[in-house]
Structure 1
Amino acid sequence: MKLVKSLLLGSAAGIAAVAGAQAADLPSRKAAPVEYVRVCSAFGAGFFYIPGTDTCLRVGGRVRAEYIVQQKFNGVGLDTQDQYGMRARGRIYIDARNQTAYGTLRTFVRLDTTVSTGSYNQGTNGSAPAFSGQGGITNAGIPGASGTSSNLDRAFVQFGPLTAGRSQSFFDFYADALNYGPIRGSDNVVNLLAYTATFGSGFSATLALEDSNEHRVGNVVVSPGSASNGQPNVGNFIQGGSDYPDLVGSLNVAQGWGSAQLSGAVFQRKTIASTGFGSGDKTGFALQAGVKINLPMLAAGDELWLQAAYAEGGISYLGYGGNSQGSTWSGNTNVGRLLIANSDANIDVFGSMKLTKGYALTAGFLHYWTPTIRQAVYGSYSKLDYSNNIGALGNVGLDPEEWRVGSNLIWSPVAGLDIGVEVLYANARVKSFVQAAGRPVGVLTKSDDSFQGRLRVQRDF
């Protein structure tokens, strides 16, 4: 028996030795090394390398909750408006960059989705709250019903000096940098194609082709007239399409003391009459100068903004309307019970096309009381001139002269979190025709004002 056991054990040992030798000859199958995400420091904080590539990526976003209280004006016997509104906005963005022999290659996409209720959905100013609505019934007759909007806020490719896609207009400078509620001044996001040349020492110049459709304010205001009062009835008008994009140029300098910019735009404006009488085609322009001054001698982060703009035929460059989804304003706006007409072009009583002239002055000051508490004070003064067309029939007022002034106080207890309150005041004067027996017999000047308050809680990440 012992002999049998010895033979069996010896055989097993021999088989094991042979098997081990054969296994040593087989190729090794070790686990593939794990490629951990690496920090990319070439473009600032928050970037990391996409595994397996040399592309640096940053993913971020925002959640904003906002609450508004403002006056309401419904008219006699009506109570359709809410005096308050609520809004929730979610934002996500992706920023991808590479270093190339031609400069930085950047791709940026930012999406916003917003749900608004109450007074956010009332009045004629749809993309930003009116100070008070007129009418106030929206969404199939439901007062203040919930409205959801999704917006491609940014989507562009930058390759060295070229920018192509959807971005902030290169005309813009202040662009609502400090305020919550709207004040006058260009703040438009449009489709564009641009070339930027840099000269060193912080100087750069940009030439851009920007979508005229998004810069236009599409109403055409017509002076009242009829054969009965010796003035021709010029019929109905619409604003015509453009033959070329808006041509925008800017010269910018950014240095330790702050920054400054000169901007200009040239564009085409057309009117088309149903009768053919009064149709027109004119070239308009806009000019703007702005400066931002850093004030560290007061407190770290303090800054002063000053801006002035003038336009003929392009009032979106002043902050009056704009067809862009990224525009701060919609077509018409309200101040109290005044409905202000916004129009790039107007037709006088003889059917002649006129470009609307106007200017806007904007200022803002930001001060840090402590590293976590800051306050901004800002305002705008603007005036439009409809030339011979000094007013309109009905409730629509023209030639507005308007003041807007406001202040917000913001607490940032932790990085990325803002809790702020704002009070904003507007005062406007407009002109409209007084009529008797169906004929305009004089001009009436109306004025009104309104207050608005907001609470905003915002987290950026």
Structure 2
Amino acid sequence: MKLVQSLLIGSVAGLTLAAGAQAADLPAKKAAPVEYVRVCTTYGEGFFYIPGTETCLRVGGRVRAEILYTEPVARGDDAIGFYTRGRIQLDARTATAYGLLRSVVRFEITRTSGTPYNAVPGGISTSPNVAEAFIQFGGLTAGRVVSFFSNGDLATEHFGTLRFDDAPDVNLLAYTFTFGNGFSASISLEDGLDRRRNDFIVGGIASNALDYAGQRVPDLVANLKYDGTWGTAQISGAVHQIRSNNLVTLALPGVGTTANFPDTEYGFAAAAYLGVNLPQLAPGDALWLAATYTNGALAYMDGGNAGINSSPYNAVTANGGVGLVDAYVNPLTGDLDRGHGWSIAGGLRHYWTPSLRQSIFGSYMRVDYGAGASAFTAGGVVTGLTDFNEWRLGSNVIFSPVSGLDLGLEVIYARVDPRNRTFIPATGQIRGSDSGWEGRLRVQRDF
């Protein structure tokens, strides 16, 4: 019996060894290589290599929530407004033999309620928006990005409106020449539709209101810029086409009645920007200034705001007397007369502690029109456009308990002073100087 058991065990062991030897002779299947995500340190924090490529990608975003209080003018006006915005941003960069290849896409969805954010009292709106989408390749920039007229490197940390070209996003095609030592120059073709201002409805002489015709040429923008360790400086210029769709009828002595479109005019704007770092006060402290002159291109100094609301909101009244208009039809000549103005804005940011900072800021704007823009009633009240001044002064305090989180509170006082008392046809009111307060509470997380 023991002999039989020994034979069986030996047979099984022999078969096992033989099978193992045959298995060892078979080709082994190699495991697929694992593609790990690598950190990219070339362009700063948050970038990683897209697996299988040499392109670095950063995924970021923002959540912002605001509550705004403004002084109501009428019973139907909202004094409280709510604002919520969500942002998703993708930034892809690749080093090439021709220079950096960069692509950025920024999506934003904004939900607002209340007159301070909406033109209609009680209004609610949701606006999905491609805020930025552009390609940079060497010196070329194409897409939607901050206008080259503006200087986005200024430390302008304010929530509300100030009167200068406050880094608006526009559609453009530009080229930047880099000279070294911090100097560069850019020339840009930009969408003029983003720079039109004829929001004003001329009361009493409505035929004077500019009706923009179709765009034939884009705005031409150029700048010369310096970026250094001490700060930044830039001078900018822009040319803007004013093409009217108004068919003007005039009765000329010895000629009779004629009907023609006014000749096309070209407005222009010029600006100077200065930003100075002040680390001797505290790390992160900075001072900034912006001065702008416009003639027929008032959008280049209005803070990027297309809408013109009453004083508690933007401190420029609409539909009666005070407004921003690139040009108007002169009722005596039938030609386009350009509006012009200038503004100066500035501010100072100071860090009281690494997590607590404060900014103080302000702006002054002066707008002038010619004699054909307005008319006087028997009571000496102006209908149409009138010259005016507007100034703004504000401050905010921002607490950042952790990196990327801002808790801010801001107050702005604004006053508008028209040269004459004005009549508002929509309400039948006669208004002179006006002023208003606004306060904002902001919670923002960047990641």
Q: In the TM superposition, what whole-angstrom CA distance separates every residue of 1:417-441 from its partner, at most 9, and x where no partner exists? A: 1111100011002356878xx9xxx
**Equivalent residues in 2 for 1:138-217, closer than 5 Å:** 143=122, 145-173=123-151, 177-187=156-166, 188-217=168-197
| 1:139-159 deviation line (CA, Å, top 9, x unaligned) | xxxx2x432111211111111
What residue in structure 2 maps to residue 130 of structure 1? Answer: none
1:172-222 Cα offsets, whole Å, 9 max, x none, are 026782110111111321011111111111000011111111122244765
Where does residue 375 of structure 1 map in the other structure? 358
1:287 partnered with 2:270: yes
SS in 1 for 2:5: helix
Report the counterpart of residue 460 of structure 1 in structure 2.
446
The aligned residue for residue 358 of structure 1 is 341
User: Structure 1: which 5+ runs fail to align?
Assistant: 124-135, 138-142, 226-232, 321-327, 439-443
Find out whether 1:417 has 2:405 as its counterpart: yes
Query: What's 1:60 paired with?
Result: 60
Is there any run of 5+ residues in structure 2 with no aligned partner, and where?
A: 249-258, 377-381
3-state secondary structure, aligned to 1:389: helix
Q: Helix, strand or coil for the counterpart of 1:199?
A: strand
2:326 to 329, 344, 348: 344
In the alignment, what sits opposite 1:404? 392
1:236 to partner: Cα distance: 6.8
Q: CA–CA distance in 1 between the matches of 2:40 and 2:375?
A: 60
Q: Deviations over 1:12-50 (max 9, x none)?
A: 233222221221122222432322211111111111111
Q: Distance in 1 between matches of 2:421 and 2:14?
A: 114
Q: Is the aligned partner of 1:97 residue 2:93?
A: yes
Please state how far the C-alpha of 1:311 moved relative to its aligned partner.
1.0
Between the aligned partners of 2:73 and 2:396, the Cα distance in structure 1 is 25
Q: 1:376 to 1:47 in 2, by over 3 A?
A: same
Question: What letter is aligned with 1:410?
Answer: I
- AA of the residue aligned to 2:414: A
Q: Report the Cα distance in structure 2 between the residues aligned to 1:120 and 1:445, rounded to whole angstroms.
A: 20
Distance 1:237 1:460 in 2: 42
Distance 1:234 1:460 in 2: 48
Instruction: State how far apart, in whole Å, the 2-side matches of 1:111 and 1:395 are.
Output: 43
Which of 298, 304, 310 aligns to 1:334? It is: 310
Listed one character per residue, the Cα deviations across residues 48-75 of structure 1 (whole Å, up to 9, x for unaligned) are: 111111111111111111111110012x
Q: Which residue of 1 aligns with 2:437?
A: 451
Tell me, in whole angstroms, the C-alpha distance in 2 between the residues paired with 1:222 and 1:397.
Answer: 7
Q: Give the Å deviation of 1:94.
A: 0.7
AA matched with 1:21? A
With 386-395 and 203-212 compared, the bigger mean Cα shift is at 386-395
- Higher deviation after alignment, 44-53 or 167-176: 167-176
CA distance in 1, matches of 2:420, 2:155: 30
- Taking only aligned residues, the RMSD between alpha carbons, in angstroms, comes to 2.5
> In structure 2, do the counterparts of structure 1 residues 2 and 396 end up closer, same or farther at CA, with 3 Å as the change threshold?
farther
Do the aligned partners of 2:210 and 2:328 also contact (CA within 8 Å) in 1? no
**1:87 corresponds to which of 83, 98, 107:** 83
Question: Shift in Å at residue 7 of structure 1?
Answer: 3.9
**Structure 1 residues 358 and 198: CA distance shift in structure 2, 3 A:** same
Residues 392/56 of structure 1: CA separation in 2 closer, same or farther (3 Å cut): farther
Contact 2:70 2:116 in 1 (8 A): no
* Match of residue 388 from structure 1: 371
> For the residues of structure 1 that align with 2:441 and 2:422, how far apart are their CA atoms?
41
Q: CA deviation at 1:109?
A: 0.8
Quick check: 2:155–2:275 contact (8 Å CA) kept in 1? no
Worse overlay, 19-28 or 64-73: 19-28
Tell me the residue number matched to 1:22.
22
**1:446 and 1:353, CA in 2 relative to 1: closer, same or farther beyond 3 A?**
same
Shift of the alpha carbon at 1:3? 4.5
Cα contact 2:79–2:116 (8 A) shared by 1: no
Whichever residue aligns with residue 408 of structure 1, its letter is N
Where do 1:310-325 residues align within 5 Å? 310-319=293-302
Contact 2:136–2:142 (CA<8 Å) still a contact in 1? yes
- Report SS of the residue matched to 2:387: strand
Give, in angstroms, the shift of residue 274 of structure 1.
3.5
Cα deviation, residue 283, structure 1 = 1.6
1:12 has 2:8 as partner: no
Distance (whole Å) between structure 1 residues aligned to residue 271 and residue 209 of structure 2: 33
SS of equivalent residue, structure 1 residue 272? coil
Quick check: 162-171 or 363-372, which moved more? Answer: 363-372
Kindly provide the amino acid, as one letter, of the partner of residue 34 in structure 1: V
SS in 2 for 1:157: strand
Superposed CA deviations along residues 317-368 of structure 1, whole A, max 9, x for unmatched, are 1116xxxxxxx41232321483342221111222221111111111111111
Distance 1:363 1:318 in 2: 13
